[in-house]
Amino acid sequence: YSMTFYHYIYQELKKLPNNAEGGIRCLGGNSTKWSDKFKAYEQALINRDFKDRYSGSFVGDLHAIITYGGIYSYFPSPKAKIRIYYEWLPLAFIIKNLNGVFLVIGSVENADEVKNMESIEPLTVDNVNEIHTKISGGLLGSEKPVNLFYSIN
């Protein structure tokens, strides 16, 4: 029996586990250079028994989140690293189709700035050369642990 990605995501799984406690936390970036808000968020996840997993493989870590629920993030530390259009958005598309959430985190001016996916400027023929390599931090995964980020001061 060979299961395709389409079959797994859209026929068997259909939505992410949405745990308020337990699950996976994949936190990338240099934690010694995170803002106080990012460090407080990590502690809030630890207090809610989210297990640490960060393999450095975005797709592999995302598979664990799809299976067990949880979050993947790469916080600016001090600068963002992941390309929005080629790395964040394709995987955010999958997560959002499974009732998950994606937040764009960080800007040149403010590492703690948070925007939603819909605020990202679409690529067009006119702007592709200027913005296709744009990078940001981000947070994606199950709705409850992602939304916990908003409660951190």
Predicted pLDDT at 50: 96
In a domain, 78, yes or no: yes
> pLDDT tier at 130 (50, 70, 90 boundaries)?
confident
Average predicted confidence (pLDDT) for the chain:
86
Residue at 32 is within a domain? yes
Per-residue pLDDT tens over the stretch 32-57: 999 899 999 999 999 999 999 988 88
Give the list of residues 6+ apart from residue 101 with CB closer than 8 angstroms, or none: 95, 140, 141, 142, 143, 146, 147
For the whole model, what pTM was predicted?
Answer: 0.84
> Is residue 130 situated within a structural domain?
yes
Give the tens place of pLDDT for each residue, 81-95: 788 888 888 889 889
For residue 4, being part of any structural domain is answered with no
Burial 105-114 (b: 16+ CB within 10 A, else e): bbeeeebbeb
Q: What is the pLDDT of residue 123?
A: 85
Q: Could you tell me if residue 13 is inside a domain? A: no
Phi-psi region of 14 (alpha: psi -120 to 50; beta: other; left: phi over 0): left
- 28 contacts: CB under 8 Å, gap ≥ 6: 54, 56, 72, 73, 74, 75, 81
Q: How confident is the model at residue 113 (pLDDT cuts 50, 70, 90)?
A: confident
4 falls in which pLDDT band (50, 70, 90)?
Answer: low
Q: Residue 51 falls within a domain, yes or no?
A: yes
pLDDT band at 10 (very low <50, low <70, confident <90, very high): low
Domains of the chain: total = 1
Mean pLDDT (whole number) for 116-136:
85
In a domain, 89, yes or no: yes
Expressed as residue numbers, the domain containing 25 is: 20-151
How would residue 1 be classed by pLDDT, with cut points 50, 70 and 90? very low
pLDDT at 42: 96
Answer yes or no: is 79 within a domain. yes
d(C-alpha 46, C-alpha 153), whole Å: 17
**Tell me, what CATH number does 144's domain have?**
3.40.190.80
